[in-house]
A and B are shown apart, each in its own frame.
Chain A
Amino acid sequence: MGLLNSIGKYIIYKEKNEKKSFVLKENTDINCEIAQNVSSLDVFDKEKLEGSFIGCPVNDDILKNNISSDIELNKKIMMTTYDMPKNSDLVYREFNITVKDKTLKAFMVFIDGMTDRTVISNNILQPLMLLSNLEIKEEVKDIGEFIFNRLLPFNQIKVVKDYKEVVSNINFGGCVVFVEGIDYAFMADTKSWDHRGINAPKSETVIRGPQEAFNEQIRANTALLRKILKDKDLMIQNVSIGKRSNTPCAVMYIKDIANDSLVREVLKRVKSIKVDYIFDSGELEQLLEDNTFLAAPQILATERSDKVALMLSQGNVAVALDGSPFVLVMPATITEFLHTTEDTNIRYPYVNFIRIIRMVGIAIALLLPGLYIAITNYHQEMIPTNLLFAIEASRENVPFPSVIEILIMEFSFELIREAGIRVPGAIGATIGIVGGLILGQAAVTANLVSPIMIIVVAITALGSFAVPSFSMSFSIRIMRFVYILLGAVAGFLGIALGLVLNSMLLASSKSFGVPFLTPFGPVTNGKYADKLTRKPTWKQEKRPDYLNTKDIKSQPKVSRGWTVKDSNEEDED
């Protein structure tokens, strides 16, 4: 029988079951008011609109209303707003409160997973359900006030009056209690969810300095800053961004150092952003910056708390967004992108040595391929004779002209860099070795590239890693290609032209009113001691004056008290 069946499968034609395919229909606009009174329509329209009232989104106008004392109405509005039985993680709990022999109905709404269950049970439900029975020796005038003052022993309770606030608070981990007969509701801030702890910074590592980085919780981040600065004048203003996401965002500054107009400008820009959802501070940076198309960044994004604290103490303004471990600091000039926090922490000779190496590294990362092309193609007489022969001998068999060769190498190196980010951890290290050494060696043996080129590209890559800031290194990588092309076109003249144009581009851009190339562009007066090389710590007397801070002095002239001779001291013996 089975055999017959299987033979039959091949001989007899059997009709296949048709799979139903899905077609994404256009969104039909349902007029909600008509759908509300669906029963009063005639037959044809009724069919179409039946049941669609459920799908009708709640008109936001309802939410603008104030809470009514009718608990049934509140219940209905909450149910329809959140589509309660369907939306499975919203919890709806009805209970009774007894106050002075009066039993009131109440209910509460919260989102499971975003709230702390223990707190809700112990600090909100328990007192309301049980303790309301206790004898309270106080005159009960107003039930609502009584509940607020006595029956809710929780440390963050707010009274909310309209549905919009209720909804936005529930969305962010609050728990709202409605009581019969009271025309406002109580909102408790019971946020708690699983999150990453405070770890070492992933992208900006230093040897000497604290290893605490921001994480995605805005409260934890602001707490880190408060802990470092301990200044009573540190202001943390809260702004909510995003029409639907209502992401909290904090603008931080030190009140009597930062310039007022700067603070106002930052607040103005942040408050005027209109988007639906905002997810990361990267988006916020793009929405706040002056010039989107400039290759150099204008706002500094950092993961380290000590860097933000340092910049706040100099008079800058910081913006933190919930959900992103990168905090934005503005205004940012070119020196901010070239300094690390380690520079403040290590000794004077080491700092300047490291700075010099870093500057040379950056110059190499930007200019070395371009200069190499310019010299070998146009100015061969500059090369010492022996080196010239070495280069010539190694390039004998390479089929490409040197420009194409270096572009290929640079491009493949950028590819390796980009691919290396996503390679899974175990293979990551080996890819580095494979990609670098073996492939490079194989390419040289196959006479595709010359060994000199590999050295040039490798040194350039090393130089680009010397840049402390991630976005700045991107801009250097982009500009390097332009220099290669210019060097190939006109030798040193092209490179000089590139330098001048580059400087003009950078010099004309402003970051929140401060020219980008301060303190080299407009040469600022004042003893700002941290431009290229850094003077010793006890000489850093003034804050950078391009920020026009209220208080310019950060240290007195003699900041080491022990260096002054104490006249009372006995120095005989």
Chain B
Amino acid sequence: MFLSIALCVVTFSGCYDNSEIEDLAYVMAIGIDEADSNSFNLTFQTAVPKSITGVGGGGGESTVVSSFKTDNFLTGIKKANEYLSRNINLSHTKIIVVSENIAKKGVAAFLSGLQQNMEIRPNVNIIVASEGAKKYIESIQPKLTSNPSKYYDLLFKTYQTDFLVPSTQLEDYLYRAKNYGAQPVAIYTEIDKAIDESKPSSGEGDEKSDGESKKSGDSEKKNMSIKGLAVFKMDKMVGKLGPEEATLFALLTGSNNNVKIEVTDPLDKRFKVLGNVIKEKASSNKVKIKDGKPKININLKLNIDVQAVQSDNNYDEPDKAAKLKIAYEDYLNKGIKSLLQKVTYKFKSDIFGYGEFAKQNFKTIDQWENVKWPEIFPQSQYDCKLDLKITRQG
């Protein structure tokens, strides 16, 4: 009998981890802003389940955004716990937003602390916001659904055809930030003046022009949108890529085989032709090291499906198709060359991951580490071959 009492005591005292589902607060987005010297502002966007699902009388905001000033991550979480009177659970976080200032100073310290935490998913996206993380999070208003997590999921899946790449996810980002083989990238967002939302119905202009930079001091909520990619070297931000460059980047690194590129119509300079570029599996990259300098051969086999022609030119006829092909080739060649030069010579950061390919030349890890890839990368030479085929989509 004594044994059974002891057993009961042991059993029921152990339910420490038994936490009811409604006692937890689920954080959707984390933001990091700079504050004075060593501290930073931590922003949490927490979901309010009741207003999301509408059960038991919806209404009200579907998320709660709160900021805490702290100098390390754990204190921030504790403060959030006190404020929200529920335990914070990070297992459903979808994005981490970092302000551009912090990105330029170096992000690794914050992010490593996050990664050790078992709760965070390894495919959390990292976003660099030019205006600051808190403003970005506040400006995100779910437009078509009331559920913020669905909004985030769909956001990143919709953009998948453009230039969202796996390398902006937490796991890859941290790996690249610490090693020599490749360098990390993150998503870059800015205020987009081209988007205009009118109140009753949501009509949006879809054109993206080159967004202007910061416009601070504005009391209205501005709409932020994804503008391109931020380029890092180790863990500091060194530059950014615009949308077209980011599209080409995605094409080169092969994470998205399907991008939409538009070129000026060769027969009519006023209009554009939109095509769907598919990279075939036969494309390859080869890296060779000669005399301590890398020589990179890029071989792209592309299939272009013409999707929309603004002018009414009929590109089925062979001579017109040839002209279109030349137009595309020009565009792609120029774009890729300028991108490669910008990244290699200006930013000096190997975001394409050619270092990984270079590893094939070495037999052991020691040899590879002796080479010190980040130092020889800026001296690399490129040899780019394009092989295009245009098909017309019915």
Does A390 belong to the interface (CB within 8 Å)?
yes
Does B218 belong to the interface (CB within 8 Å)?
no
Instruction: Render A373-413 as a binary contact track against B, CB cut-off 8 A, 1 for contact.
Output: 00011101100011011111111110001100000000000
Given A385-B92, A393-B55; A488-B49 close (CB under 8 Å): no
Q: Which residues of A contact B121 (CB under 8 A)?
A: 381
Does B338 belong to the interface (CB within 8 Å)?
no
Band of interface residues on B: 20 to 34
Does B19 belong to the interface (CB within 8 Å)?
yes
Taking a contact as CB atoms under 8 Å apart, the answer to whether B89 and A380 are in contact is yes
Does B91 belong to the interface (CB within 8 Å)?
yes
A62 → chain B, closest Cβ, in Å?
Answer: 54
Does A491 belong to the interface (CB within 8 Å)?
yes
A334 → chain B, closest Cβ, in Å?
Answer: 29
Provide the bound-state CA to CA distance between A397 and B18, in Å. 19
Taking a contact as CB atoms under 8 Å apart, the answer to whether B147 and A389 are in contact is yes
Instruction: Give residues 484-506 of A contacting B (CB, 8 Å).
Output: 488-491
Provide the bound-state CA to CA distance between A378 and B153, in Å. 24
Instruction: Give residues 43-70 of B contacting A (CB, 8 Å).
Output: 47, 49-50, 52-53, 55-56
Provide the bound-state CA to CA distance between A386 and B149, in Å. 7
Provide the bound-state CA to CA distance between A490 and B22, in Å. 19
Taking a contact as CB atoms under 8 Å apart, the answer to whether A377 and B18 are in contact is yes
Cβ-defined partner of A488 (8 Å) among B15, B22, B24: B15
Does B163 belong to the interface (CB within 8 Å)?
no
Q: Which residues of A contact B105 (CB under 8 A)?
A: none
Provide the bound-state CA to CA distance between A489 and B52, in Å. 31
Cβ-defined partner of A396 (8 Å) among B14, B22, B89, B149: B22
Instruction: Render B13-51 as a binary contact track against A, CB cut-off 8 A, 1 for contact.
Output: 011011111101010000000000000000000010110
Q: Which residues of B contact A386 (CB under 8 A)?
A: 147, 149-150
Provide the bound-state CA to CA distance between A381 and B92, in Å. 7
Q: Which residues of B contact A395 (CB under 8 A)?
A: 20-22
Provide the bound-state CA to CA distance between A380 and B55, in Å. 20
Cβ-defined partner of B56 (8 Å) among A380, A391, A393, A402: A393
Instruction: Render A452-490 as a binary contact track against B, CB cut-off 8 A, 1 for contact.
Output: 000000000000000000000000000000000000111
Provide the bound-state CA to CA distance between A394 and B56, in Å. 8
Taking a contact as CB atoms under 8 Å apart, the answer to whether A388 and B18 are in contact is no
Provide the bound-state CA to CA distance between A380 and B89, in Å. 9
Instruction: Give residues 141-184 of B contacting A (CB, 8 Å).
Output: 147, 149-150, 153
Cβ-defined partner of B53 (8 Å) among A376, A393, A397, A489: A393
Given A381-B91, A381-B119; A393-B49 close (CB under 8 Å): yes
Q: Which residues of A contact B149 (CB under 8 A)?
A: 385-386, 389
Q: Which residues of A contact B198 (CB under 8 A)?
A: none
Q: Which residues of B contact A401 (CB under 8 A)?
A: 20
Provide the bound-state CA to CA distance between A488 and B14, in Å. 10
Report the tally of A-B residue pairs with Cβ distances under 8 A: 73
| Least CB separation from A391: chain B residue | B21
Cβ-defined partner of A397 (8 Å) among B11, B20, B56, B150: B56
Q: Which residues of A contact B147 (CB under 8 A)?
A: 386, 389
| Least CB separation from B145: chain A residue | A386
Instruction: Give residues 191-232 of B contacting A (CB, 8 Å).
Output: none
Provide the bound-state CA to CA distance between A386 and B55, in Å. 13
Provide the bound-state CA to CA distance between A381 and B50, in Å. 19
B156 → chain A, closest Cβ, in Å?
Answer: 14
Q: Which residues of B contact A489 (CB under 8 A)?
A: 11-12, 14-15, 18
Given A380-B21, A402-B21; A389-B14 close (CB under 8 Å): no
B184 → chain A, closest Cβ, in Å?
Answer: 25
Taking a contact as CB atoms under 8 Å apart, the answer to whether A393 and B50 are in contact is yes
B229 → chain A, closest Cβ, in Å?
Answer: 26
Q: Which residues of B contact A380 (CB under 8 A)?
A: 21, 24, 89, 91
Taking a contact as CB atoms under 8 Å apart, the answer to whether B20 and A402 are in contact is yes
Taking a contact as CB atoms under 8 Å apart, the answer to whether B21 and A377 are in contact is yes
Taking a contact as CB atoms under 8 Å apart, the answer to whether B52 and A488 are in contact is no
Given A377-B19, A393-B50; A490-B14 close (CB under 8 Å): yes
Provide the bound-state CA to CA distance between A306 and B79, in Å. 71
Taking a contact as CB atoms under 8 Å apart, the answer to whether B20 and A377 are in contact is yes
Provide the bound-state CA to CA distance between A394 and B149, in Å. 18
Provide the bound-state CA to CA distance between A396 and B121, in Å. 26
B25 → chain A, closest Cβ, in Å?
Answer: 10
Provide the bound-state CA to CA distance between A392 and B53, in Å. 10
Q: Which residues of B contact A490 (CB under 8 A)?
A: 14
Taking a contact as CB atoms under 8 Å apart, the answer to whether A378 and B21 are in contact is no
Taking a contact as CB atoms under 8 Å apart, the answer to whether B56 and A388 are in contact is no
Provide the bound-state CA to CA distance between A391 and B92, in Å. 15
Taking a contact as CB atoms under 8 Å apart, the answer to whether B21 and A393 are in contact is no
Provide the bound-state CA to CA distance between A195 and B186, in Å. 85
Q: Which residues of B contact A385 (CB under 8 A)?
A: 26, 92, 149-150, 153
Q: Which residues of B contact A389 (CB under 8 A)?
A: 26, 47, 49, 52-53, 147, 149
Q: Which residues of A contact B49 (CB under 8 A)?
A: 388-390, 392-393, 396
A380 → chain B, closest Cβ, in Å?
Answer: 6
Provide the bound-state CA to CA distance between A376 and B121, in Å. 18
B20 → chain A, closest Cβ, in Å?
Answer: 6
A342 → chain B, closest Cβ, in Å?
Answer: 41
Provide the bound-state CA to CA distance between A380 and B119, in Å. 10
Q: Which residues of A contact B52 (CB under 8 A)?
A: 389, 393
B250 → chain A, closest Cβ, in Å?
Answer: 27
| Least CB separation from B92: chain A residue | A385
Q: Which residues of B contact A376 (CB under 8 A)?
A: 20-21
Provide the bound-state CA to CA distance between A235 and B121, in Å. 68
Q: Which residues of B contact A378 (CB under 8 A)?
A: 17-19
Given A385-B149, A488-B15, A490-B14; A392-B91 close (CB under 8 Å): no
Given A385-B92, A489-B11; A394-B55 close (CB under 8 Å): yes
Provide the bound-state CA to CA distance between A386 and B15, in Å. 27
Instruction: Render B87-124 as a binary contact track against A, CB cut-off 8 A, 1 for contact.
Output: 00101100000000000000000000000000101000
A364 → chain B, closest Cβ, in Å?
Answer: 21
Provide the bound-state CA to CA distance between A386 and B148, in Å. 9
Provide the bound-state CA to CA distance between A389 and B49, in Å. 5
Q: Which residues of B contact A396 (CB under 8 A)?
A: 22, 49-50, 56
Q: Which residues of B contact A391 (CB under 8 A)?
A: 21
A255 → chain B, closest Cβ, in Å?
Answer: 51
Provide the bound-state CA to CA distance between A396 and B333, in Å. 59
Instruction: Render B368-381 as a binary contact track against A, CB cut-off 8 A, 1 for contact.
Output: 00000000000000
- Output the residue of B20, B52, B147 with the most chain A CB within 10 A: B20
Provide the bound-state CA to CA distance between A394 and B121, in Å. 26
| Least CB separation from A379: chain B residue | B91
Taking a contact as CB atoms under 8 Å apart, the answer to whether B18 and A390 are in contact is no
Provide the bound-state CA to CA distance between A67 and B192, in Å. 118
Provide the bound-state CA to CA distance between A381 and B119, in Å. 8
Instruction: Give residues 218-261 of B contacting A (CB, 8 Å).
Output: none
Provide the bound-state CA to CA distance between A390 and B150, in Å. 13
Contacts A/B (CB < 8 Å), 19 sampled:
A377-B17, A378-B17, A378-B19, A380-B21, A380-B24, A385-B149, A386-B149, A388-B21, A388-B26, A389-B26, A389-B52, A390-B49, A390-B55, A393-B50, A393-B53, A393-B55, A396-B22, A489-B14, A489-B18
Counting from the closest, the 4 A-B pairs by CB-CB distance are A381-B91, A385-B149, A389-B49, A393-B49
A378-B18, A392-B22, A489-B14 given; name 12 further pairs at CB < 8 Å: A378-B19, A380-B91, A385-B26, A386-B147, A389-B53, A393-B49, A393-B56, A394-B55, A396-B50, A397-B56, A402-B20, A488-B15
- B interface, CB within 8 angstroms of A: 11-12, 14-15, 17-22, 24, 26, 47, 49-50, 52-53, 55-56, 89, 91-92, 119, 121, 147, 149-150, 153
